[in-house]
Structure 1
Amino acid sequence: MTQGNGSRSTTSYEEVRCMLMRGGTSKGAYFLADELPADPADRDDLLLRVMGSPDPAQIDGLGGAHPLTSKVGVISVSEDPEADVDYLFLQVVVDRPEVSDRQNCGNILAGVGPFAVERGLVTAGDTETTVRIRMVNTAELAVATFPTPGGRVEYTGSAEISGVPGTAAAVEIEFPQGDSPLLPTGNVRDTVAGVEVTCVDNGMPTVLIPATALKVTGYEEPRDLEEDVALADRLHEIRLEAGLLMGLGDVERATVPKLSLLAAPRDGGAVTTRTFIPVRCHTSIGVLGAASVAAGLRLPGNVGEDVARLPATGDRTRVEHPTGFLDVDVSVDPGEGGTPPVARRTAVVRTARKIFDGTVFPRAADSAPTSAQGR
């Protein structure tokens, strides 16, 4: 992760091939790994200039002035025999000269398979294509299947996802059982900064918190929650302490763990959520964050038991969020006799769309600001 001013790139990279895609409810720039600098510091410096950071408006780059639209996927052929491609996710911080690789992004993941076909890393099938993806950030696997009629990626279709207008082709993503513990602290409940929480990691380190424990309802608009100074202070305190308990170390400048406030469902789902990334309130919810919420709710004794309304049968869990819902199929073995719980299978449906494919011209290295410039 590049922090502070970082090192300035010694390679000019006056232009670089780039594909801008919407993946799920996020938007990001996708690159081939071998078309970016090999040195991580030089790569991150270039990406800051491509996205227009640090600047709260990101006016001089591709970024959209929000963490959900300041994301990058770096793709390459995988050397792992169980994967076709490697996917490195990078979060480009909007208002600071930082690039973080400390988390995955399941939304940007939705575009990885189509991008791999578009760039010739994977040969498309005649009707649909399945791409095995190694998520470099966590060394875990995902399998994406999407339509490719006639050997070309099809982006139009009838699938709808909350938070995205219109319809698009479905991208089915399945996450096999990973090696990371589902309960990073070993407990289904922990007391963190005086609040009972459930710390869970089903692809995304996430802290589940009953909304009422923080004196909010969990139904507020994201902007109203962001403007609550007292809430922000409590969330910051909880996140720092939970990060240590979850084995993440000092998370002061990290984007994980995510914090999800839980409330009773309002629209027939299992639970209502408000998720922080880490200080901005998500207008929906991330794929892997939702997968972690869904898995956590299926663990006996979790902090959401009093508000969640899980279906009587089946593995599907509908996670409500500010702009709709996200359905997650998750099968959890709660463990017994000292055996830790595991998520046997997790799957979601997302959509993705190619917005442009071409050349991006990064801001010149010698004109890059060293800190965010207010407006």
Structure 2
Amino acid sequence: MRTRENRTISVPATLVRGGTSKCWLFDVADIHGRGASLEDVLVTAFGSRDRSQIDGVGGATSTTSKAAIVAHSYEPGVDIDYTFGQVGVGVERVEWGSNCGNCATAVGLYAIHSGLVRPRGDHTRVRMRNTNSGSRIDAVVATPGSEFVPTGDAVVPGVALPGVAVGLEFIDPVGAGALLPTGRAVDPLGPEDTPATLVDAGAPAALLDAPSVGLTGSESVAEFAQRLPGLLPLRREAAIRMGLSTPEQPVDHAVPKLGVIGPPRDYTTTAGQRVTAAEFDVSVRMVSMHAPHPVIGLTSMVAVAAAATAPGSTVHRYTAAGRRIRIGTAAGVVSAVLDLDTSGRLTGVTLNRSARVIARADIFVPAARSEPAIAR
């Protein structure tokens, strides 16, 4: 067997579960200046050349193929800057066009674990800026006795074991832009004029009315997957209407987010637990990188919560936003707390999450691609 020798670089990294995602976190000083582009390093480290990611550290799903580059921030009032990358699965590409709330949860815990932020009291506030979107997020991390703790007792739907409690606060999630980019609470999409709310808060999202596409919003992941191919063309149309793409361009896989919204109804979670309609306010099934999300992404949660404040939206028709909205997902019920000013404008969204540091490692990354081995 003949092979070609290649130089290998070693990149320090930390694997952290944040919410319902796993994220490899890199200190900016450890990953830049490696003789290759950042994107090349990540797709090679994750093994993105095949869908199994068998030759890398990726987990072969959208929720386990994520990275963030973390740095001390020099912005006044900000502790940490982080850049999120959605690393391709079977595609040699990293998408930089969106934020990830679950990875933000991981970054908050990592900042204390790595010493970038010193713990202060029983709860330490880590002030973060996402460089992809410019958005501000604070992570309030449990640090009992002013110490980092490796685990805790906070649980979230979709994760079997508890972790460290992290409160994630999205500050002014709408920002200087418009909550409804088209200026309408509902836009008709596709040949059937499917009602959809196109919202930009947390992340751009297209929220379809579930009954209008023959769904309830309480489908199992497998049931939702069967219907997904018919919904993706509506996502493309939404991207064009929101100014995220043009008819001639391919649409980014990460944004806009796509989801279906329905009224509360009894259903069974992925883990087999029965949930009654009285336990939540609205049914939601979301898409992540062209596949059903097993729970819901945090930026999607912010988008749903924000849409609930818009009269006539696909969310508002089922639940008018108060100070809290309870969302029924395939894995269970998750809640968002809304901060509203006196005019009813959304000024913040808080989500209760958990995180856990899983590993610290040196990832060995081939510095140049090798030719396939030739059997003799």
The answer to whether TM tops 0.5 is yes
Shift in CA distance, 179/153, structure 1 to aligned 2, threshold 3 Å: farther
Give the superposition deviation at 1:278. Answer: 3.4
Three-state SS of the structure 2 residue aligned to 1:48 is helix
Cα separation, 2, equivalents of 1:259 and 1:224: 16
Q: Is the 8 A contact 1:198 1:208 kept in 2?
A: yes
Aligned to 1:324: 332
Match of 2:281 among 249, 270, 275: 270
Q: Is the 8 A contact 1:265 1:309 kept in 2?
A: no
The residue correspondences of 1:332-351 to structure 2 (distance < 5 A) are 332=340, 342-351=345-354
Aligned to 1:214: 213
- Ranges in structure 2 where 5+ consecutive residues have no aligned partner: 1-5, 266-275
Q: Is the 8 A contact 2:36 2:367 kept in 1?
A: no
Q: Is the 8 A contact 2:186 2:197 kept in 1?
A: yes
Aligned to 1:6: none
Q: Does 1:176 align with 2:171?
A: yes
Q: Is the 8 A contact 1:256 1:277 kept in 2?
A: no
Aligned to 1:30: 25
Match of 1:235 among 226, 231, 238: 231
User: Residue type matched to 1:186 in 2?
Assistant: G
Please give the TM-score of this superposition, normalised by the length of structure 2: 0.86
Q: Does 1:366 align with 2:363?
A: no
Q: Deviations over 1:187-235 (max 9, x none)?
A: 111122221210112211111111122222322222232233xx41x32
Aligned to 1:205: 204
Shift in CA distance, 201/368, structure 1 to aligned 2, threshold 3 Å: farther
Q: Is the 8 A contact 1:300 1:334 kept in 2?
A: no
Q: Deviations over 1:321-360 (max 9, x none)?
A: 000022101134696xxxxx84212111111100001211
Cα separation, 2, equivalents of 1:13 and 1:73: 22
Cα separation, 2, equivalents of 1:367 and 1:280: 31
Give the superposition deviation at 1:39. Answer: 8.7
Please, what is the CA RMSD of the aligned residues? Answer: 2.3
Give the superposition deviation at 1:38. Answer: 4.8
Three-state SS of the structure 2 residue aligned to 1:15 is strand
Three-state SS of the structure 1 residue aligned to 2:41 is helix
Aligned to 2:272: none
Q: Does 1:255 align with 2:266?
A: no
User: Residue type matched to 1:315 in 2?
Assistant: R
- Ranges in structure 1 where 5+ consecutive residues have no aligned partner: 1-10, 336-340, 370-375
Q: Deviations over 1:255-304 (max 9, x none)?
A: 10011101111332111111011310001001110111011022111123
The residue correspondences of 1:1-375 to structure 2 (distance < 5 A) are 14-38=9-33, 42-177=37-172, 178-193=175-190, 194-228=193-227, 231-232=228-229, 234-249=230-245, 250=249, 252-266=251-265, 267=276, 268-306=279-317, 308-310=318-320, 314-332=322-340, 342-363=345-366, 365-367=368-370
Please give the TM-score of this superposition, normalised by the length of structure 1: 0.87
Cα separation, 1, equivalents of 2:232 and 2:362: 39
Cα separation, 1, equivalents of 2:309 and 2:369: 52
Cα separation, 2, equivalents of 1:251 and 1:269: 36
Q: Is the 8 A contact 1:54 1:95 kept in 2?
A: yes
Shift in CA distance, 13/119, structure 1 to aligned 2, threshold 3 Å: farther
Shift in CA distance, 23/40, structure 1 to aligned 2, threshold 3 Å: farther
Three-state SS of the structure 1 residue aligned to 2:16 is strand
Give the superposition deviation at 1:132. Answer: 0.4
Three-state SS of the structure 1 residue aligned to 2:151 is coil
Give the superposition deviation at 1:19. Answer: 0.3
Cα separation, 1, equivalents of 2:12 and 2:165: 26
Task: Out of 280-289 and 187-196, give the one that drifted further.
Answer: 187-196
Cα separation, 2, equivalents of 1:270 and 1:155: 34
Aligned to 2:270: none
Give the superposition deviation at 1:172. Answer: 0.8
Shift in CA distance, 31/188, structure 1 to aligned 2, threshold 3 Å: same
Q: Is the 8 A contact 1:332 1:343 kept in 2?
A: yes
Cα separation, 2, equivalents of 1:53 and 1:272: 33
Cα separation, 1, equivalents of 2:182 and 2:7: 45
